[in-house]
Amino acid sequence: MKVWTRRLLRLFPCKPCYAFEQINLLLTPVLPETPKEALSTRGVTVRIRDAQWIMKKPRAAVGSGGRRGKQASSGEGRGRCVRGSRQAKSSGLARQQEEVVSQASVSLYHLFRDVAEVTAFRKSLLSWYDREKRDLPWRRLAESEVDPDRRAYAVWVSEVMLQQTQVATVINYYTRWMQTWPTLRDLASASLEEVNQLWAGLGYYSRGRWLQTGARKVVEELGGHMPRTAETLQRLLPGVGRYTAGAIASIAFGQAAGVVDGNVVRVLCRVRAIGADPRSTLVSQQLWSLAQQLVDPARPGDFNQAAMELGATVCTPQHPLCSQCPVQSLCRAHQRVEREQLSASQSLPGTCDIEACAPNTGQCQLCAPPTEPWDKTLGVANFPRKANRKPPREESSAICVLEQPRAFGGARLLLVQRPNSGLLAGLWEFPSVAAEPSEQLQCTALLQELQNWVGPLPATRLQHLGEVVHSFSHIKLTYHVYGLALDEQTPVTVLPADARWLTREEFHAAAVSTAMKKVFRVYEGQRPGTCKVSLLALTQPQIHRFSAS
């Protein structure tokens, strides 16, 4: 095996992702045999297994301009995965393909190399989507709405809500949002408090604020008309990035703009066997190029939704349903699995053996790094490989649920408003302070914070009820939950504008985060009485662990 691979590498001076993946499929079952029909090229003899097959070197990468006859400089050529002496054709798919390859050391194996393959991918995916697409409210609205601005607004809201949030969770929020603010002008006239209140519990609260900010700009500066292209959407609307702009432009306005979200990343990485970290700049650029190359110009909106639907329902992170995949025949990850299984069944060396035979060849920047070998237990889930993530920052705070007695107009809870910037900006929460090293210092600091809002309070009734561990995207926050129920004799000062007394019903309807609702559940489960107890009365508080929602 090693003799063969060394010869093949001399013929194809690149990382074996191109040479080996193409040749090994033909050679693996027949390497132990003596070739009967053979083709000799530069000293390498290869059996012809399927019809006529001629080995050729890949073309040389051309400059980024893609002009006919312009070849990569000698400095750029060293270390590239794709080398050769032929000039690329300057038209159509070939030029687009060579421009992509010229951006980095990548193999043509990871790209779509002819129009027929792209056409087959589009046709298979769209046919599957027409049969299997889910019935979702934003799709119905986008299909039935004749006003392009309202159609774009409906798509915009859905795409923002779906970022980092599951479809099942979004449906109810989306329906209530569109019933409350059916047009851009309705949203622009709403208050931030109303937006936060409706968004409460959906997470990533800045999304709602950016939606309203963008709606106000469309109404006040753009005459109520949404920009019509992905480029102008991204440039003119605050909070709209490349993905959201492409989704709106393709679904609402029919622009052939590709999109790349988490689901599309997974589909493309598997279909083209891209094993490198998709979060890297180089790989991200290649994925966007592939998405733009594949998008169907006749049905761009449907195609983009089909690609996302495929990643969400079939090509899932774990346990993908490959037997139901409409593009299985074009999937290089699936082909790799079949080759590994064939090699194992015939007791032949696996496809990765050539890696050890090519220590000095250029590293293809889209292949999995040599430090991450193929894991046969994962199958197609070997693609994409996930880089190690930095663990979330850990923080702690002390928080108190302060309850006012019924004699003062019904039991009410004290809430204060967070700053207008930063984490959970503008939302309401129970008073809190940064955690202290000892419980005594913590209670003292928390009591002082409460008194800053409502005046003097009895320290002897501040009780530690438990802990809530809540995970945000980048912070793991532990709340040390305290409770204090005032009696009728405790006077309360007039509250400032950024503090409120709310009933339980008002609290659940207010713009509060999911974390605050979890804190309140701990308080409800262990509500303190009005009798006097020691600050350290509860020495074994209950710990509640939650993840962000």
For residue 459, what pLDDT is reported?
A: 59
pLDDT digits 0-9 by tens, 519-538:
999 998 876 543 333 333 33
The pLDDT assigned to 426 comes to 85
Residue 127 has pLDDT above 70, yes or no: yes
Please identify which residue in the block is written with the tokens 């299997």.
132
pLDDT bucket at 331, cuts 50 / 70 / 90: very high
Q: What is the pLDDT of residues 128-140, one digit of tens each?
A: 999 999 999 999 9
- The CATH number for 393-526, chosen from 3.90.79.10, 1.10.1200.10, 3.40.50.11260, 3.20.10.10, is 3.90.79.10
The pLDDT, as a whole number, for residue 37 is 36
Is residue 257 helix, strand or coil? Answer: coil
For the chain, give the mean pLDDT. 79
At 71-124, the pLDDT tens digits run: 333 333 333 343 333 444 445 555 555 444 444 467 888 999 889 999 999 999
Q: What is the pLDDT of residue 497?
A: 83
Closest residue by Cα to residue 67 from 53, 86, 87: 87
Angle, in degrees to the nearest 10, between helices 167-180 and 192-199: 150
Band the pLDDT of 307: cuts 50, 70, 90: very high
| Active-site residue flag, 76 | no
Q: How far apart are CA 256 and CA 195, in angstroms?
A: 32
**pLDDT of residue 540 exceeding 80:** no
CB 1 within 8 A of CB 31: yes
Which one of 21, 159, 355, 403 is the catalytic residue?
159
Residue 240's pLDDT is 97
Contact 437, 450 (CB under 8 A): no
Domain extents in the chain:
115-342+364-382, 393-526
Cβ proximity of 354 and 20 under 8 Å: yes
CA pair distance 423, 269, nearest whole angstrom: 33
Please provide residue 75's backbone torsions phi and psi, each rounded to the nearest 5 degrees. Answer: -65, -40
> Nearest-CA neighbor of 195 among 182, 211, 184, 179?
211
Predicted local confidence at residue 342, as pLDDT:
85
What's the DSSP call for residue 380? G
- Stretch 540-548: mean pLDDT: 41
Each residue of 265-301: pLDDT tens digit? 999 999 999 999 999 999 999 999 999 999 999 999 9
| Local structure of 401: helix, strand or coil | strand
Q: Are 315 and 270 in contact (CB under 8 A)?
A: yes
> Tens digit of pLDDT for each residue in 412-449?
899 999 988 778 888 999 999 999 888 888 888 999 99
Q: Which CATH architecture has domain 115-342+364-382?
A: Orthogonal Bundle (1.10)
Are the folds of 115-342+364-382 and 393-526 the same?
Answer: no
- 465-520 pLDDT, tens per residue? 999 999 887 889 999 999 998 877 777 777 788 999 999 889 998 989 999 999 99
As a whole-number percent, the residues of the chain with pLDDT over 70 amount to 72
Q: What is the pLDDT of residues 221-267, one digit of tens each?
A: 999 999 999 999 999 999 999 999 999 999 999 999 999 999 999 99
The structure tokens 């609260």 sit at 205
Q: What pLDDT, on the 0 to 100 scale, is given for residue 406?
A: 63
pLDDT digits (tens, 9 = 90+) for 348-384: 555 543 333 334 445 788 888 888 888 888 999 999 9
Half-sphere exposure of 250 (CA within 13 A, CB side): 27
- The whole-number pLDDT of residue 527 equals 62
- Mean pLDDT, residues 42-62 taken together: 36
